[in-house]
Amino acid sequence: MTTSELQKQPSAESDLQAVDGIRQRLNASLKGKADVIEMVLVCLLSRGHLLLEDKPGLGKTTLAKALAESIGGHFARAQCTPDLLPSDITGFNIFNQKTHEFEFRKGPVFSEVLLADEINRATPRTQSALLEAMAERQVTVDTQRYDLSDAFFVIATQNPVDQHGTYPLPEAQLDRFAMKLSVGYPAMDDEIRMLAEAVVDGRQPTVSSDACLQAGQLQALQARVAAISVATPVQDYLVRIATETRSHMSIALGLSPRGLLTLQRASQARAFLAGRDFVTPDDVLDVIFPVLGVRLGLEVREAARVTQEVLDAVTVPAYSEKSPS
Amino acid sequence: MAPDVVSRTLAGPRSLQRQNSASADDKPLITSLRLHIICLVLSLLAAFIFTLTEHDDHEHTLWCVFEIVMQTLLASLATIYFRVRISLLNETGVVTPVLVMVASLSLICEPIQRLLFGTGHAFEMLIMHSQCNLMLALAVCGFRMAFQRLAVMIAVFTTIFCCTISDASGLMPLTLLFVATAVTWLVAAWWETVDRRIVSSETGKIPKTWLATAAALPLLALLAASGFGSNKVTTALKGFMPSSGGTGENDPFSRGGVNDGDALIAGNENIKSFGPLDDAPFVESEQPSLYDVFNDQFDAPPKKIKNQQRAIALPPEMMKHIHQKMAEARKAGREFSLLRSEKRGNRDRIRDLKTKALFYIAGRTPLHLRMEVYDIFDGMEWAPCDAEPVLGLNITKTEDRHWLNIPQDGKGFEVYAGTAAHSVKNANLNGNIVPTPAHPVGVSIDKVDRADMYQVDSTKVVRMNRDSLPSMTPISFVSRCVDRSLIADSHRVTIVRRTTVRTLNDLTVSLPPGEKMEAIRRLAVQWTDHLPRGWPQIAAIESRLREQYALNREVAATSETSPVHEFLFETRTGGEYLFASAAAVMLRSIGYPARLVSGFYARPDRYDTDSRHTPVMAEDAHFWCEVSLGAGMWLTIEPSPGYDILQPPPGLLARLWAVIAAIGQLARDNMALLTLFCLAATIVVLNRRRLQNMLLTLRWRLTLRKSPSTLAIGLARLVDHRLRLAGIRRSGGTTLRRWARQPVLAPVREELARVADLADEVMYQTQRTGQVDTSELDLLARQLSYSELCKLRSRAAANESTHAA
C-alpha cells in the first residue's frame, strides 16, 4: 500500500516501531504469511479475539505463541477435548488443608494470550465458559468474580476437516470473535526456507524471544486505534453493508450491531497500521472478509463468495465535492 | 384493496425480483398452482370477452362458441403439460422463443389468409389478436411470476379495450366476473409474497436510464415524423392505423371509423366550419338546397323559399328525425343554424371561408376536375361541340348509398390501376356543372336515389339537373386511375391515328389550314419522328412542352392569327391554356385526336391539415389537354410544368420507395449542409470519448478557482471518468485504489493509488493537516491522461490476443 508523507504523520513513531517489531517477529515465526499476520495485528489492535480455522500443522499454535511472546504477556494453552470442564478453563477453588481455607487456582484464561486449541472439540458448556470470559474479560467462580488481564487475547483454532465428535460453535458465540482467518499452506519458496532453517547447524536462532511491547503499551495502542476518526460517508458505507447482509438471500442472519461495531473497530485498526488517522473505504474492504467470515455462519469459500456479492451490491462512497468531511 | 398494495403486487417484491434475476445457480421462483390457475382463468375470461367483441355482429355465433371452447381446451391442456414438465421448462430457455412465436402467429397468418381466402382482420383487431394469443401463452407459462404479471396486464388492457368498442350482450356479466377474478388474483399474488416482504422491505432502484430512454423514444419518433414534409406531426402520423381512411384510402379490411373515413360524423354543436359530411344536419334556409325539407305528403314548406328548384323528397321517417333532432338541440340551447351563425359571432371567419374557396375536395390530390371540354379549334378560339347526353342512367344501391352509374369508356383497355374516391363540396361555385374527375365510375349524393337528378354527357362531365349546385352538400365520386406505365406498353394499347374527318367526333383531329399550322406540324414531327407511333410520341410532346417551355400566367398571347404558333416559336412562355392548346394542336397535327379541357386543379400544397380538405380557389382554374386512346377513352395530358396528374394509389412498396425518394431528394437539395453535418457527426461519433474527456478535463480545470481540496476530489472523479471512457470502468463496489490492482493498470498503479490517497484525505480526514499541492495534481492528471489509459487498454488487449493465439 502506498502511504504518503501526509498520512504517516498522525501515529507516533514509537508506536509504529513497536507494531513493526511484532510484525517482524510474527513474520519470522510464520514465513510467507504477511497478509494473515497483518490481520492478526488488526485483530489484536482492535481488541478482538481471533478464530483460526485450518488444517493441523499449518502454524496456528506457532503463530499464537509468537504473538504472546512479542506482546510480552503470559501465554497459556488449553487443548480442548470433550472431557474438558469449565473449571479447567476458568480455574477452581481448592481446599487447603494447611490453612483450612479454599484457595483459587487460576485457569489458563488468566493470561495475556490464550490459545484454545480445537475449540470445537470442547463441550458447549466449556465453550460457553470460555466465551463468557472473552466477552466480559472476567470469570465468576463460586460467586466470586475475577477480572482478567486488559490485554486478554484469545486465539482459538478449529479443524474444518475432521468434524466427527465436535461441537460446532453456534452463531451467537461466533459473534464474540472479531475475525476468522485461515492460515493456508505456505508458498514453495517459503517452505524451502523453512526447511533450510530447520536444519540445526549450530548457529544461534536469529529470532529474539524478548517482548516488543512494554507493559501497558498494548492498551495504549488499542486506545489510539479506538480514537481513529471515521467520516460520515464511511459510516454510511458500513451501515449499507450491514443492511445488505441482512437482506441477502444466502445469509440467514445478517451483521449484528455488535458485528458492525467490530467491523468499524477493525477498519480503524487497519487505518492505524497504514499510518493514517482516518478510515477510508479501502480499510473496510481490507478487513471485511475475515470479519464477516466469522459471522455469516457459512463455509469459508461460500462466505467469501457471499461477501463479494454483498460488496458488489453496495457502492463505495462516491467522491463528491459536496461532501468532504 | 388499497392502491399501494395493488401496485406493489403488480411490481413484485424486491426479494422476489432478485430471486428471479439471481445468478445462474439460483433457479427462478415457481408460483403456486392456485395462483397459476387464477391467472389462467383471468386470461381466458379476457379472451372470451375479446372473442365476443370480435363477433358482436352475431353472424358467427357457432364459430364464436367453437373459438371459446378451443381456447379453453388448448390453454388448459398446455398448462397441465407445462406444470408437469415445469422443472425442465424452467431451466431451459425454450419459453421465450415459444412466446415470441405465439405472438407473431396472427401477424404471419394474416397475409396468407388475405391472399388465399380474401378475408382478413382490421389492423387493430390483428394486433389485439396477437396480443390475446400472447396473453394466453403467458398465462400458460405462468409458473413464473413475471409471466403472470404480464398476462394479467394484457388481460386488463384487452378487457378495457373490448368494453370501450363493443356493446355485445354477454359482455357485462363477463366483465364483472373478470373484475372479481382479477381482484382474487391480486389478493392471492400479494398473499404469496407476503412472507418475503417481511424479510425484505427494501425499495428497488428506479432504472432511470431505461425510463429516460423509453420516454425519449416516442418523442424522437414524433420529432423524426415531423421532420418530413411541411405538415404537422399529427398529419404525418395520420393513417398509421388504416382504420378510418385518414389517408383518403379505403382499406377493405378496416373497420368503420370517424373523421374523414367511411362514416363521417357531423357536428351538431358550435359548428364553425364545414366539411363534406354526408349526414350533416340540414336546416331549412332560404338558399336553394338540394334537400329542401318538404314533403308532398305534408303541408306546405315551413318557410318560403325564394328560388325554388328541383329537390328530392326525403322519406317521412328521415323528416321526422331531422325535425326532432333540431328541436332537441334547440331545447338544450344549442341551436344550430348556418344563417344565424352568420349573423352572430365568428361572422368574419365564416365569411372568409366562403369567400376563399370555390369548393373543397376530400381525397387524394393532385386532381384535375373537368368542367368543360372543347373540341373545335379554328386557330384562335376553342369551342365545345354539343355533347350528347347519356341516356338511360341508372342508380345502384350499395349498403347505404345510391350511386349513379356512369357508363365506362375504354372497355378492353387494361390501363386502369385502382380507383380513387373523392368528395366535392361546393361553396361558391355557380352553375350546375359538377367538377368531375377523369374516368368517373359513379357519383353519389347522400339520400339522392333518382337518376334524373343528374345529367351526364358524352364528355363524362356531370351536371345536376337544376340551375345550380347545392351548396354545403358533398358530392362523392369514384373514379378509375390510369397507370401510364401500362399505356406505355404498346402491346396493350394501340392508339388510333386519324388524319381525315369522317364524323362529327373526328372534329377532334381537325385543324385549320395555313402555314403556321404546317410549321407546328413540322415541329411536332421533328419532336416525334424518331419515336414509334403511339404513346411514345404523345409522351414526347407532353414532356418537351413541360421541359422546354416556361409557365407564366402574366404573359398573354398577342398574335391575332395564331397564338399557338407564337407561343411555340417566339415567346416560349405563357399560361396553361397556351400549353394545353399547343399540346392539342401538335397532337392533332400528327394525327392523334386531342381536345382542350378546362376545369380546376386541386393543388396538393393547398391541403389543409386541420380540416383535412383541399380548398380549390378561383385561381386554380386550369386548362389541360386530353388525347383519345380509342373506344371513347380520353387520357389526360398535362403539358404545363408544375402540374401533376393523379397517380394510381401506391402500394406498400411504392409508398416506401416514395419515402426513400423524398428523403433522397431532401438530401440532394441540401447536399452541402448534409455532407457537412455527416462529416461533423462522424467526427463527433468517432471521437466522442475524446471529446467527453476534453470537456470533463476542462470542467476539472475550471474548479481550480475553487479550493485545492475539491480539486483533489475532482481529479479522482476525472480519473474515474477517464477509466470509463478508456473501457476500464471501475465497478461501483470497489474503490479506486483496489481497482488500480487490475493487471491492465499495472504501469500507472502508483499514480492511481496516489490520486486515491489525496482524494481520501480530503474526503474522510476530519482534521486536515496538510495542503494539497496543485502542481502534483496537475502532474497526476497528465500522467493519467485518457490517451495513456487507452494505450494501456489496447496493450492489454493485444497481450490477450497473443496469449489466445
Q: Is residue B298 part of a domain?
A: no
Mutation target vs B (from A288, A301, A312, A321; most B CBs, 10 A cutoff): A321
- pLDDT tens for chain A, 325 residues: list them: 333 443 444 456 777 788 888 898 888 888 888 899 999 999 999 999 999 888 878 888 888 888 888 888 788 888 888 899 988 988 988 888 988 888 888 889 898 888 888 888 899 888 888 888 888 888 888 888 889 988 888 888 887 776 677 888 887 778 889 999 888 888 888 888 888 877 876 555 555 667 778 777 888 899 999 999 999 999 999 999 999 999 888 888 889 899 999 999 999 999 999 888 899 999 999 999 999 988 887 877 788 899 999 999 899 998 876 654 4
Stretch B96-108: mean pLDDT: 86
**Closest CA–CA distance from residue B797 to any residue of chain A (Å):** 25
CB count in 10 Å sphere of residue B450: 14
Amino acid at A12: A
pLDDT band at B506; cut points 50, 70, 90 = low
Which range among A246-255, B155-164, B663-672 shows the weakest confidence by mean pLDDT? A246-255
Supply the pLDDT for residue B541.
92
One domain, residues B535 and B413: yes
Q: Copy the grid coordinates of residue A34.
A: 504477511
Contacts of A228 in chain B (CB under 8 A): none
Q: Is residue B350 part of a domain?
A: no
3-state SS, A48-67, equals CEEEEECCCCCCHHHHHHHH
Residues contacting B200, CB < 8 A, separation 6+: A247, B13, B14, B15
Supply the pLDDT for residue A265.
95
Contacts of A321 in chain B (CB under 8 A): 703, 706, 710, 713-714
Q: Is the pLDDT of residue B504 over 60?
A: no
Task: Identify which of B26, B753, B766 has the shortest CB distance to residue A278.
Answer: B766
Task: Identify which of B713, B737, B757 has the shortest CB distance to residue A4.
Answer: B757
Q: Which of B649, B679, B703 is the last residue of a domain?
A: B649
Q: Tell me whether residues A7 and B757 touch, CB distance under 8 A.
A: yes
B335 or B470: whose pLDDT is higher? B470
Q: Tell me whether residues B753 and A311 touch, CB distance under 8 A.
A: no
Q: Please give the residue range of the domain that contains residue B789.
A: 687-804
Contacts of A279 in chain B (CB under 8 A): 764
Q: In this structure, what are the phi and psi dihedrals at residue A145, rounded to the nearest 5 degrees?
A: -95, 135
One domain, residues B582 and B713: no
Contacts of B761 in chain A (CB under 8 A): 4, 6-7, 278
Contacts 24+ apart (CB under 8 A), B464-468: B464/B290, B464/B432, B464/B434, B465/B310, B465/B432, B466/B288, B466/B290, B466/B309, B466/B310, B466/B432, B467/B288, B467/B309, B467/B432, B468/B288, B468/B309, B468/B430, B468/B431, B468/B432
Task: Identify which of A279, A282, A314 has the shortest CB distance to residue B733.
Answer: A314
- Distance between first and last Cα of chain A: 23
Supply the pLDDT for residue B303.
46
One domain, residues B22 and B159: yes
Q: Which of B175, B199, B223 is the last residue of a domain?
A: B199
Whole-angstrom Cα distance, residue B475 to residue B394? Answer: 17
B206 or B450: whose pLDDT is higher? B450
Residues contacting B389, CB < 8 A, separation 6+: B455, B456, B457, B458
One domain, residues B565 and B509: yes
B117 or B716: whose pLDDT is higher? B716
Q: Which of B199, B221, B240 is the last residue of a domain?
A: B199
Q: Is residue B400 part of a domain?
A: yes
Q: Is the pLDDT of residue B209 over 80?
A: no
Q: Is residue B630 part of a domain?
A: yes
Cis check: omega of the bond before B366, within 30 degrees of 0: yes
User: Are residues B542 and B563 in contact, defined by beta-carbon separation less than 8 angstroms?
Assistant: no
Supply the pLDDT for residue B2.
40
Q: 3-state class of B503 per DSSP?
A: coil
Domain(s) labelled CATH 3.40.50.300 in chain A stretch across 1-184
Task: Identify which of B18, B709, B759 has the shortest CB distance to residue A249.
Answer: B18
Task: Using alpha carbons, list the distances in angstroms from residue B675 to A86, B158, B224, B662, B667.
Answer: 89, 48, 19, 17, 9
Closest by Cα among B537, B548, B551 to B589: B537
Q: Is residue B637 part of a domain?
A: yes
Is the Cβ of B115 closer than 8 Å to some Cβ of chain A?
no
Task: Identify which of A2, A234, A320 has the shortest CB distance to residue B754.
Answer: A2
Task: Identify which of A7, A247, A320 has the shortest CB distance to residue B202.
Answer: A247
Q: What is the CA B614 to chain-centroid distance, rounded?
A: 18
pLDDT band at B583; cut points 50, 70, 90 = very high
Please name the residue of chain B whose CA is at the shortest distance from the CA of residue A254: B199
Q: Is residue B404 part of a domain?
A: yes
Q: Tell me whether residues A325 and B766 touch, CB distance under 8 A.
A: yes
Considering the four listed CATH numbers 3.40.50.300, 3.40.50.1220, 3.40.50.2000, 3.30.540.10, the one that applies to the domain covering A1-184 is: 3.40.50.300
Q: Tell me whether residues B763 and A282 touch, CB distance under 8 A.
A: no
Whole-angstrom Cα distance, residue B5 to residue B189? Answer: 10
| Reported ipTM | 0.82
Measure the CA angle with vertex B113, ends B108 and B119; round to 5°.
135
**Closest CA–CA distance from residue A313 to any residue of chain B (Å):** 6
List residues of chain A with CB under 8 Å from any CB of chain B: 1-4, 6-7, 9-10, 229, 231, 233-234, 243, 247, 249, 276-282, 285, 311-317, 319-321, 323-325
Element (H, E) at B69: helix B61-84
One domain, residues B415 and B540: yes
pLDDT band at B484; cut points 50, 70, 90 = confident
Q: Is the pLDDT of residue B511 over 50?
A: yes
Q: Is the pLDDT of residue B297 over 70?
A: no
Is the Cβ of B731 closer than 8 Å to some Cβ of chain A?
yes
Contacts of A277 in chain B (CB under 8 A): 765, 767
Contacts of A302 in chain B (CB under 8 A): none
Supply the pLDDT for residue A117.
87
One domain, residues B41 and B180: yes
Supply the pLDDT for residue B87.
63
Supply the pLDDT for residue B761.
86
pLDDT tens digits, one per residue of B546-581: 999 999 888 777 777 788 888 888 888 888 888 998
Q: Is residue B228 part of a domain?
A: no
Task: Identify which of B706, B766, B770 has the shortest CB distance to residue A231.
Answer: B766
Is the Cβ of B586 closer than 8 Å to some Cβ of chain A?
no
Q: Is the pLDDT of residue B535 over 60?
A: yes
pLDDT band at B367; cut points 50, 70, 90 = very high
Q: In this structure, what are the phi and psi dihedrals at residue B719, rounded to the nearest 5 degrees?
A: -65, -40
Whole-angstrom Cα distance, residue B312 to residue B450? Answer: 8
Superfamily per CATH, domain A227-317: Magnesium chelatase subunit I, C-Terminal domain (1.10.8.80)
The count of domains in chain B is: 3
pLDDT tens digits, one per residue of B422-431: 988 888 788 8
Task: Identify which of A3, A278, A314 has the shortest CB distance to residue B765.
Answer: A278
Q: Copy the grid coordinates of residue B686.
A: 468517432
**Closest CA–CA distance from residue B208 to any residue of chain A (Å):** 17
One domain, residues B633 and B719: no
CATH code of the domain in which B520 resides: 3.10.620.30
B410 Rama sector, left if φ>0, alpha if ψ -120 to 50, beta otherwise: left
One domain, residues B695 and B625: no
Q: Copy the grid coordinates of residue B185.
A: 388474483
pLDDT band at B197; cut points 50, 70, 90 = low
**Closest CA–CA distance from residue B750 to any residue of chain A (Å):** 7
Q: How many residues does chain A have?
A: 325
Q: Is the pLDDT of residue B60 over 80?
A: no
Is the Cβ of B200 closer than 8 Å to some Cβ of chain A?
yes
Question: In the β-sheet with A153-158, what is the strand arrangement from edge to edge?
Answer: A75-79, A113-117, A153-158, A49-53, A177-181
Most confident of A160-169, B130-139, B249-258, B402-411: B130-139
pLDDT band at B676; cut points 50, 70, 90 = very high
Q: Tell me whether residues B735 and A285 touch, CB distance under 8 A.
A: yes
Residues contacting B14, CB < 8 A, separation 6+: B200, B202, B203, B204
With a CB-CB cutoff of 8 Å, which residues 737-766 of chain B face chain A? 737-738, 750, 753-754, 756-766
Task: Using alpha carbons, list the distances in angstroms from residue B476 to B318, B397, B447.
Answer: 21, 14, 12
Q: Is the pLDDT of residue B103 over 80?
A: yes
Q: Tell me whether residues B200 and A4 touch, CB distance under 8 A.
A: no
Task: Using alpha carbons, list the distances in angstroms from residue B727 to A286, B693, B714, B787.
Answer: 26, 13, 20, 12
Whole-angstrom Cα distance, residue B533 to residue B214? Answer: 61
Q: Is the pLDDT of residue B30 over 80?
A: no
Which range among A113-127, B193-207, B511-525, B637-651 shows the weakest confidence by mean pLDDT? B193-207
One domain, residues B609 and B727: no
Supply the pLDDT for residue B295.
35
Q: What is the CA B397 to chain-centroid distance, rounded?
A: 31
Question: What residue has cell string 495542503?
Answer: B771
pLDDT band at B349; cut points 50, 70, 90 = very low
CB-facing half-sphere around the CA of B25: CA atoms within 13 A: 5
User: Are residues A133 and A173 in contact, defined by beta-carbon separation less than 8 angstroms?
Assistant: no
Q: Is residue B452 part of a domain?
A: no
pLDDT tens digits, one per residue of B620-665: 889 999 988 777 788 899 999 999 998 888 777 888 898 899 889 9
